[in-house]
A and B are shown apart, each in its own frame.
Chain A
Amino acid sequence: MSSLARTPVMFGLGFLLLLLGLWRVDASPLRLIEGAQKLGWLVVLMWPPSAGGALTELLAALAETVAMAFLGTLLAVVVALPLCFLGAGNIVTNTLTRFTVRRTYDGLRGIDSLVWALIFVSAVGMGPFAGILALAVPDIGLLAKVFSEALESADRRQVEGVRAGGGSRLHAIRFGLIPQVAPVMLSQTLYTFESNTRSATILGVVGAGGIGLALGDRIRLNNWDEAAFIVLLILVTVAVIDSLSRRIRLRLIRA
């Protein structure tokens, strides 16, 4: 079959799959209309957003969220730095080892941090510590992979140049390798911090510290104006962290 004839068939199958999905989740028009009406009511209840007199408590929870994201990223970097050498093809030449190591990194990444949070809350108790671990574990997989790719793409000739100029092995790493890989690693780390700030806002829903706990509570208790206020706080925080991190990243790249 020519590709021109195949395209409508593919789109048709895709549409059928969509209908199957809608049928499976029982998305009847009646349910949708009723839900939309209820949603409209919720939006009315959300206005105006109000802190409900707990502004300092909420700001503290927000600070805890950012702290969790920061420490989770830091922990992930500290663990991923030595691990990345195992995954780099120009350092570990054994294909089987490298393959196993890389699949392990993928495995850590494949599970959402919320699942890890659920497990760590159950293992080490509620609080920000479980959240830090939950953020760090999938990031270890991600950062180890990205770091080892940075090592692989580093140009050998600069290292050889330092060695040829009479530098020691340490000099070769300091002046030949680090200037090449550090900007990539740092900017990836900052990206991870941004994404962790987003993830950290919801970990509290399962008890792993941060603003998510307050949000989950307000929704369960039907305090919709306070829930809306918390969502707005989250939006502002994420925007601030994003712009800060972007500025640091640009400076690092220029320096």
Chain B
Amino acid sequence: MSATAQAVEARWRRERSAGRRRTLAWSLAFAAAVSVAAVVGQVDIARLLAGLPRAADYITRTIPTLRWDHLAQDLAEWMWGFDLWLELLLDTVLIAYAGTVLGGGAALLMSFAASATLAPSWAVAVSRRLLEFARTVPTLVFALIFVYAFGLGPLAGLLAIALHSFGALGKLFAEVHENADLHSVEAVRAAGGSWAEAMRFGVLPQSLPGLLSFGLLRFEINVREASVLGIVGAGGIGEELYLSVRQFEYPDISAIILLILLTVTLIDALTTRLRHRILGAESLRPA
């Protein structure tokens, strides 16, 4: 065998054994993580096996009795609270909508200061920390605190959603602004416009489709979040769901969950269509 072939062979062996060692190290780290988590999370295989049939049994109980020959009657009995639930669902969507708009509005004001290309670095640092805080604290934690300050009811939920959306959207909005072409900003400035005017007429028209698209995505997420805020007393359909779980009204649980699912699907389909239209309109604009 020639020297070159031998060198290649030796190199290949070295690389292969290094690759195997790496795989082994990752596998060991993973196995260690699993066992530590299992101990800390108090996972008991016996309890797990005992728990699974109970979970299955619980889910079976929530399935309503629907007989083919009495279908209308059975459906009516299953959905006995339909009027109340529908009203609460509409409230839920409204809470999510108002929260998204208020949070998005605040995020829009803050986002210019958080864009590295548009604002001085101290303003970027301060506003980014603020947004990060609002985005990292879960909506439910804000809701728990606001229920205490503003009293039980949907107002607390709306404010919690608005605050969390402010953090999440502010970051995304700032990133959209950072992608904007700076020539139009220079043009507005050169024509004697102030910084605020440069943002309004130089940046906003470029970022608007992106902002609306992110806002609609956030609205979808917020409808899901608003549907659970009732669990801590912050309004919406979650309150009824919490009640029915607590009182073991099994068919009610499945009825409410089904209605939430339908609402979420409907909102998703609607916002997807709107988003496509907005982004489609953007691609039609002259470059």
Contact = CB atoms under 8 A, between A and B. Distances in A.
Partners in one complex: yes
Interface residues of A, number: 63
Query: Interface SS of chain B: helix, strand, loop or mixed?
Result: helix
B39 to A, nearest CB: 8
A71 B37 contact: yes
B94 interface: yes
B146 A110 contact: no
A38 B34 CA distance: 44
A25 B138 contact: no
Contact of B138 (A24, A63, A198, A209): A198
A235 B136 contact: yes
Interface in A199-230: 199, 201-202, 205-206, 209, 215-216, 219, 227
A107 interface: yes
Interface stretch (A47-55, A82-90, A127-135, A158-166): A127-135
Contacts, number: 171
B245 A114 contact: no
A21 B97 contact: yes
Contacts of A111: 224, 257, 260-261
Nearest to A242: B136
Interface string A66-78: 1110110010000
Interface in A151-192: none
Interface residues of B, number: 64
Nearest to A39: B149
Contacts of A198: 136, 138
B180 interface: no
Interface stretch (A12-20, A93-101, A142-150): A12-20
B261 A202 contact: no
Contacts of B140: 114, 202, 205
Given A114-B140, A118-B241, A132-B43, 15 more contacts: A25-B154, A25-B157, A32-B150, A36-B149, A66-B37, A66-B40, A71-B34, A115-B241, A119-B245, A119-B253, A123-B55, A205-B232, A216-B144, A235-B133, A235-B136
